[in-house]
Each structure stands twice: as C-alpha cells, then as structure tokens.
Structure 1
Amino acid sequence: MRRILLLYIIFSVIGLTTVHAQFDNGRQRVDENGYDQYGNQVDPAMIPDRLDSANVEVQGLPPKLYMWRINNQLGNRTIIPADTAYHHFQNSNLTEGLTGHYNYLANMGSPRMSRIFFERRDPEPTIFMEPFSSFFIRPTEFNFTNSNVPYTNLTYHKAGNKINGEERFKSYFSVNVNKKLAFGFNIDYLYGRGYYNNQNTAYFNAAIFGSYIGDR
C-alpha cells in the first residue's frame, strides 16, 4: 500500500512538472515594444498580463437612426425626424386628435371627422373609411426605419377602470440586414369598453414591411 501511494505521489509530481513546463514554453512572451517571441506584433488588449476584466472597456456602435416616407408620385424618399418622445405625446391616443379638432361619436376607437375642412385628407377609397382615418394608414404615411442597431418602440395607453376603461398597445420593430436592406413589423391593438351598451370598440392592426435602398 505504501509503495502504491509512493508511486502515485512520484507520478503526480512528474506530471505536474511536465504540464508546467509545456504551459511555460507555450506561453506568449511580449516585450515592451509589443512584439512576441516570434517577432509578431501583438494587440495590447490581447496581452495575457493585461487581460483584466476590470480594465476592459467595451465599446459598442453608436446608434444611427433615421426614418423616411415614400412619395406618392415617383416613390422618392422623404427623410423625417425619428422622434421617439414627441411633443403632445399624452394627446396622441385621444380620438379628438392632438389639438382636439376632431368630432367623434363616443369613446376611443369610434369614428371621427376633422372639423377643419382644409386639414382633411384626400378622399379615401370608399366614403366609409374616412371616419377611420386613425387606423387606415396610407403607404405615403407609413414610416420606414433604417438603423445600424435594432430599433423597438413600445407604447401603452390606459384610462378608466374595468367597466368603462380604454386600453391601447402599439409596438414597432425594425432591423437592418445591411445598409440597404431592412425589415420589421408593427402592431396596434385597441380596446374601448365605453360608457353605454353596444358602444365598445376593438381593433387589431398588424403589418410586415421591408425596404431596399439601392441603384436598382
């Protein structure tokens, strides 16, 4: 038993010595000029003595984001500011509009019509779609996004209680494959319970979009 234990200790010491020698010989040596033992220049951040997680500074890409719309005549792009927290945000969910210039029937999601005639849009495909202008988005009013990082915008509005409350959830996501190709989707869900019978409203809109910017 003692012989076996002695042999085990001897073999363990020999093995550890061999491993240490191999590790020391294969270790990268870098001089003060930044060159290893083979004469190759080494990145200062990859020097083993300097690989300290406390001193590593991770730098990401600065986000670059812009939005654009297409022109109805020739399909040209019109760059628009990508404002993620725009002015009068608290009024963006009101059926009466940002400045209260819409006439509407009841709660959120009900049909509406602008009181200012000159601010009304061009005629819709049918006369029955004009009162639902807040949900019917034309191709020239859709915001396309180009960014070097994935872009997500989530919005949630809630008012009232479980009896007559109103809720609306909107999401927008866009990501670029490269500088030319981008795709994404948006979701708009609205539910208004209303104050009277048969007055509740519920809408669900969703869209998938893509864009390619190139010479052809």
Structure 2
Amino acid sequence: MRKIIFIVLWITVCVSESMAQARVILPDSLQVTPRQAPHDHQHEMEEPFDTVNLVLPAATVWYLHPRSGDRLVAAMDTLKHNYQQTTIPDGYSVAGGYLGPIGSPFISKIFFERDETSHFPFYDAYRPYNKSPEQHLFYNTRVPYANLTYQTAGSRPVKEQRLKALLTTNFGKRLNAGIEGDLISAKGLYRSQENKHNDWSLFGNYLSDKFESHLLASTSTVKQFENGGITDERFILDPESVGENFSTGDIPVKFTNTWNKMKTNH
C-alpha cells in the first residue's frame, strides 16, 4: 500500500509540474454563471452585472443524466465540515445496512434512495464505491486540477485505508481528459471480513457549439471475504454469559476461508 501511495504522489507531482506553464483555458461562456452585484434595498431594481470584472470559475463540473444525456451541473464541495462523512458508510444514508468496514456491501433502508437495478445487479451492493457512468463527474478546467486524499482509521488488526487520486486538465477550450483512481483496503472488525477495491477510470469530454461527446472507461476489482455471520449469538446478545474477555476478532464465525472476487468494466 505504501508503494502505491508513493507512486501516485510522484505521478501527480510530475504531471502537475509539467503542466504548470499551460496557458489559461477560458470555459465556454454558456457554462459561466456571472456573479451578481450586491442588492441595494434602497433601489427597486438590481444593479446590472459587472461584465468587465467578471469572475470566471476555475472549473466547471457536471454529471450526465442517465436517460437524456443532459449535462447537470454539480457543485464542488471544498468545506472541511463533516469531511469524514465522505468515506464512512453512515455518510451515504441516515439509514443504511452494511457489514461494518468501508468497502463492504451497502444498501439504503430508505426505498426512495435506491436506484433502479442495473444490468449487473451484483455490483449494485457496492454503489457508494462503484464507477457507474451516471455517477461519474466530468470537468472543464482553466488550469490543471489534481485532488489527492488519503484516509485511515484503526490499529493494524482492524485498519481501514482509502486512497483517492484525480488528475484532469484541458487541452484547449473544448477538450478535457483525466484519470481517477480509488483504492480501498479494510481488515474488518470480525474474522473473515476483509475487503479490497482497486478502481480506475479514464474519462474525457469534447464540447463545441454544435457537438458534444463524453468518454468514460473504467475497471473495478473487488475482493470480499465472507464469514456467514457469527455462530453463537450470546457474544452479542449476552456477552456476560460467555464468562471471559474477548474482542470482536475472537467471536467465532461460520466461514473462515470463503471469499468473492468480482471484476467489472464500463
């Protein structure tokens, strides 16, 4: 895991440095939202837009409507408040069912938060982590944009890690290309609960006055160990009856050498 983190960091720094002298790319005027002047309550009409000192966004981000293909603008969240919620399973729904560690199968207990069943339903259980086309973000940037995050929790026996890396840049006003990686590793709180994710995406878009095109190519590999549940419910319902100190890793489970491996390509 340390070698992978070092390689991703090195590639990000090298590419960012090589593109640092790239010329400024102005986004399409149709994607620009002008900043309004402050409203003066003493006047009935608002002041006109300041077209001279117009502040252009550094990046425009959107995702595609799964049926019509329309571009739907997505706001970039840069606040630190509740940042930890972006990784833990509880951050995806106020009522979700999951196996405990990050990267494990997840389903919302609220029916209206669930998506339609896909053509490959086995991957639907990993919706918070998958790279389906309707969830992918596309970019139009004035300067090269890189985003690298690393989150970890727990001691070595139950350690959880997630590394996400994104690098995207424009080649002219119309063409954008980028690459994204998402690596998850979790040991789990119980025996035989480990899971690993290796997700990579290559994406791009071309926008002109008469033509729009989007490209997404992604590959995902998920390896999930299965334990089938615990064999003695007293460890959960009545731990004092066991008569000894124990941790979650000491609770006996049904399976100890069973796992699933799934690979998907979009």
Q: Which residue of 2 aligns with 1:14?
A: none
Q: 2:189 matched to 1:207? A: no
Partner residue of 1:123 out of 97, 103, 117: 117
Q: TM-score, normalised by structure 2?
A: 0.55
Correspondences of 1:41-190 after superposition (within 5 Å): 64-85=58-79, 88-190=82-184
Conserved 8 A contact 2:61-2:138: yes
Secondary structure in 1 matching 2:91: coil
Cα deviation digits, residues 105-158 of structure 1 (max 9, x gap): 131111111010111111122332221111223212211111110011111111
Cα deviation digits, residues 3-26 of structure 1 (max 9, x gap): xxxxxxxxxxxxxxxxxxxxxxxx
Deviation at 1:98, TM superposition (A): 4.0
**Greater Rg by CA:** 1
Over 6 Å off, 4+ runs: none
Using the alignment, how far apart are the partners of 2:107 and 2:92 within structure 1?
13
Secondary structure in 1 matching 2:87: coil
Letter in 1 for 2:79: A
Secondary structure in 1 matching 2:165: strand
Letter in 2 for 1:76: D
Cα deviation digits, residues 43-71 of structure 1 (max 9, x gap): xxxxxxxxxxxxxxxxx968621101112
Using the alignment, how far apart are the partners of 2:61 and 2:76 within structure 1?
6
Letter in 2 for 1:132: Y
1:140 and 1:86, CA in 2 relative to 1: closer, same or farther beyond 3 A?
farther
Conserved 8 A contact 1:156-1:168: yes
Conserved 8 A contact 1:104-1:112: yes
Conserved 8 A contact 2:131-2:201: no
Q: TM-score, normalised by structure 1?
A: 0.67
Coordinate RMSD, CA, aligned: 2.0
Using the alignment, how far apart are the partners of 1:120 and 1:63 within structure 2?
33
Cα deviation digits, residues 26-48 of structure 1 (max 9, x gap): xxxxxxxxxxxxxxxxxxxxxxx
Using the alignment, how far apart are the partners of 2:122 and 2:93 within structure 1?
24
Deviation at 1:99, TM superposition (A): 4.6
Letter in 2 for 1:103: G
Secondary structure in 2 matching 1:129: helix
Tell me the percent identity: 30
**Runs of at least 5 residues in structure 2 that lack an aligned partner in the other structure:** 1-22, 25-55, 212-266
Using the alignment, how far apart are the partners of 1:148 and 1:196 within structure 2?
47
Cα deviation digits, residues 148-185 of structure 1 (max 9, x gap): 10011111111001111100000111100011000001
Using the alignment, how far apart are the partners of 1:198 and 1:178 within structure 2?
50
Conserved 8 A contact 1:155-1:169: yes
Deviation at 1:189, TM superposition (A): 0.2
